[in-house]
Structures are given as structure tokens and as C-alpha cells.
A and B are shown apart, each in its own frame.
Chain A
Amino acid sequence: MFRNNYDNDSVTFSPQGRIFQVEYAQEAVKQGSVVVGIVSKTHAVLVGLKRNAEELSSYQKKVIAIDSHMGIAIAGLASDARVLSNFMKQQSLGSRLTYGRAIPLERIVLHIGDRAQTNTQHYGRRPYGVGLLIAGVDDSGPHLFEFQPSGMTQEMVACAIGARSQMARTYLEKNLEQFADCGRDQLIGHGLKALKETLSQDKELTVENTTVGIAGLAREGSVGKIENFKLYDGQDIVPLLEALEAATSGTEAVGAESMEVDS
């Protein structure tokens, strides 16, 4: 019945120095569908693979806008993510009201990290069953953070969490050097390619299952200092997928472009 004697609560260490409840929570993250995040010198992008629980249901949200300067991508229990994202929305709004400034990413990540950590140190509580990628821009430029149910947070250059995310990480590691100088569209392209790596043979990226969120520094000549967090979902994603198609099919795509309509 029990896997061992030390996993009944999240306040007890095993003799090997492990807290099993936290590890199980991390397992829940691995069950969630994959999300990828990459940051360049100018942009931070989140890309996610959406799943539907059954044929008749809608697809679960993977990327959520928190404020005009940031958003999160989730892997794991969506309901826990909703609670966390609501908390982050409140914190972000609070910063805008009291200081008139967008909350620095490091700040808000620290907040949710502390919150998640207290869950692992109080009897009768349960760790969050969700991992997050937090992407956005603040005064010190674009940032990407990873968050785990243990309360661990760290800043990343590129990151992937969720089911089969190892494939995406391999892609990210291979192309690591290119990210810093990527433009906006290139960065989204890398994100989508990394996401594509994780797909099993019979799957592909579609309008239904792909979602992208991006924030960055403002382009020359535009109003404001940042390019607000923009969410691409549903039909909005079509141009991005087409760009990916064109990039991956390489040279032969140039001639085939006009015929794609029929295929």
C-alpha cells in the first residue's frame, strides 16, 4: 500500500535525506505537457504544447498573461497553476498601485518561491503540483525563470519542463550560442523547433495545440519602453506555424509554397 514510510507528509525527511511528497509533486510536473522558454538580449519567449483531456473537451491553457510585462507557462496541475497565477496577478497589480512600477521579475519569482517553500514545511499542507516558466521584461531587460514545486527558482537562458522535455532541452543545449542575438521571430522559431522535438512520431504542431507568448524591449521608434506580453493562441498562431514550416522545410519549401494550400 505504501511505497515507503516517509511519504505521508511533506514535513518528514526520509533517512536518505529526501522529502518524498515534494518529489511526487515534481513527478506531476513531468506528467504535464511540455513548455519551453528562451531568452535573448531583447526578448523572452514562452512556447507550450496544449493538450485536451478528451476528444470532446477544449484544450488546457498553457501560457497565461500575468501583466503587461510578463507571463507564465505551466506544466503540471492546471488548477494549482491557476491559484499561483492569480496570486501573481495580485502581486503585480499591487506593485503597480503602490510604487507605480511593473514588478521586477526576480521579485515576483522570489514571492512564489517562498510561498511554495512554506507548503513543504508545514504539516497538513501539500506542495504545488505545478512547474512554471516565468518570462518577461523589467528595468534590467528580458528574463526567464524556472519554478519548481519545491520552491526552487532559478534564472535560465533557455528551459523546458514537462513530458518529454528532455528532447527540447537537447535542442536548446545544441543551439544555446545562437539565442542571445536572436531577433523576435527567430526566437519564436527556436522555441517552436524545440517544442517540435518533443513530439512523438504521429503528432505535429497545429493551430489547436500550440501556444506562444512573448515580451521584449520595444523596437526603435515605438511608444513605450517595452513590447507588451503578447499571447498567440488559436488563429493568431497560424503565421508563426507557417514561418516555422517555411524554415524547416528549407530549400524545397520555396518551390512548394504555392502547392501547400492543397496539402
Chain B
Amino acid sequence: MNHLPQAWGRPRDDVYGTYDRSYLQTSTPNSHTQSPAVTGTSVLAIKFNGGVAMAADKLASYGSLARFTDVKRIRVFDKTTVVGFGGDISDMQYIDRLLDSIDVEENYSSNGNTLNAKNVHTYLAKVLYKRRSKFDPLWNQILVAGFDDDSKPFLSSADLLGTTFSAPHLATGFGAHLAIPILRRLFPEEMPVENIGKEEAVAALRECMKVLFYRDARSLDQYSLAVVTSDGVELKEDEKLEAQSWNFAENIRGYGTQVN
């Protein structure tokens, strides 16, 4: 008998060839996300007197390919909260189903769904953190807008690492570089949220969406716009950028016809 216990009970290599050890495995290896595939770009949001406004364009890119042009990246939760997704679209759809299921479960109770935006944000941050700790992240940055326990406007962010933070205005992706400075200039952070009107806030978001369309190659001129107030959520999903002016591009290399 062979003196190697490992070989006992196995077909002999010299007769049957090398033993294929992959058959010993009971299951296929786990696969973890290493990089996002189809992605959405910026989400923007801003608090105003009595609510929060949020915008996100409708493009889903596959690398540099503009793959889908009608993807809604803002969803409503329980008529009181909106959630905006940047990053991987399939992970967004998975999280969307998670939110659907907790909404259903919550509605079993006699008081209906009592989860507010703050509760939803805590929940999502925990989901994202748990997945990153398993080295299998949900590749998203998420903005949650609505109201907190004291019925004050609430806006907070959570990302694929589980990092959370909140501010009077937030943006994901390219928006963090391009829109935040605009919003901070229009509405300085020491300015009380009560001084910002709903129309002002929405107009600022539209302006930021325009700047993003000019400068973010993975963006689109069609977008969703959500406004949360104590009356509920007003979600418009077929907004278009108005009054674009490409004059600025004339002398910029890379835009339009190149002269030299």
C-alpha cells in the first residue's frame, strides 16, 4: 500500500492520471465584488426650510459606455423618505428590494410604517458596513433625505465602507467636487437652513445638474428630482436640463471641433 495517507482511497495517478481535486469541493467558491460594473454618477441633495431636495441624473454607464439612459436612481420610502443611489446599479436594485421588504414588514404593525429617514439611514449604513466587513461590498454611495425623530429636515450619507456623515448639502461622486462648492457658496453652512426657500434650493440643484452635465463625462441631461416636505414626497422623474449654453466650451480642448 502507498505510504501516503492522502492517496488512500483515490484512483492511482499512474493508472488514471492526476486526480482532479476540484471534485472534492462541495460548492463553488464565493465570488465577491471587486469593482462596480454598471454605475450611476452623482446624487445631489440640499436641506431647505421645512424639507430636503434631491436630484440625480438617469444615466447608467458601463465603464465609459452610456449603457442605460432611463434609470431612476431616487426611490421613495414610505411617502416620507427619499433615498438616492450613486455607484453600482445592480447593488442599488438589491438595496431597493431590501427596502421594499422592510417596508412591507413594517406595515404589518397596527401603526403602519413608523421608520423615518434617520432610521432608514441607520439601517442602510449597517447593511453597507456589514457587507464591507465581509469583503463583499455593496458598491454604492447613498444619500438619505427626509425627517428625523424631531420632525426636522434630515440629510445624511452612507457609502460602501459604511462611513456616514451629514451636512446641510451633500453630493456623491463627481458632485462632491463640482456641486458642493457651488452649493456652499450659494448657501454658506453657517446660514440657518430656515433661511433657504424650497424654490431657491431646487433652482440651485438644477444649476448644479447643469454644471455636472457640462463637466462630468458620465452624466446625462435628464434627471430625477425629489422634494420632501411634511406634506410628503414630490418625485419628478422626467426632468430635462433647460437653457444650456455651450459657449464656454469654444476654447476648451476636448469639447467640439478642434482647431489645432
Contact = CB atoms under 8 A, between A and B. Distances in A.
Interface stretch (A97-105, A160-168, A209-217): A97-105
A104 B149 CA distance: 14
Interface of B: 109-111, 114-115, 118-119, 122-123, 126, 149
Contact of A101 (B109, B110, B115, B126): B115
Contact of A98 (B109, B111, B114, B123): B123
A107 B113 CA distance: 12
A225 interface: yes
Interface residues of A, number: 12
A236 interface: no
Contacts of B119: 99-101
Interface in A107-146: 107, 110, 139-140
Interface of A: 97-101, 104, 106-107, 110, 139-140, 225
Contacts of B114: 101, 104, 139-140
A100 B118 contact: yes
Given A99-B123, A101-B119, A104-B114, 12 more contacts: A97-B126, A98-B122, A98-B123, A100-B118, A100-B122, A101-B114, A101-B115, A101-B122, A104-B111, A106-B110, A107-B109, A140-B114
A41 to B, nearest CB: 16
Nearest to B110: A106
A151 to B, nearest CB: 17
B112 to A, nearest CB: 10
A50 B50 CA distance: 51
User: Closest 8 A-B residue pairs measured CB to CB?
Assistant: A100-B122, A99-B119, A140-B111, A101-B119, A139-B114, A98-B126, A106-B109, A99-B123
A146 B149 CA distance: 28
A82 to B, nearest CB: 27
A107 B118 CA distance: 19
Nearest to B112: A140
Contacts of A110: 109
A101 B115 CA distance: 8
Contacts of B123: 98-99
Contacts of A97: 126
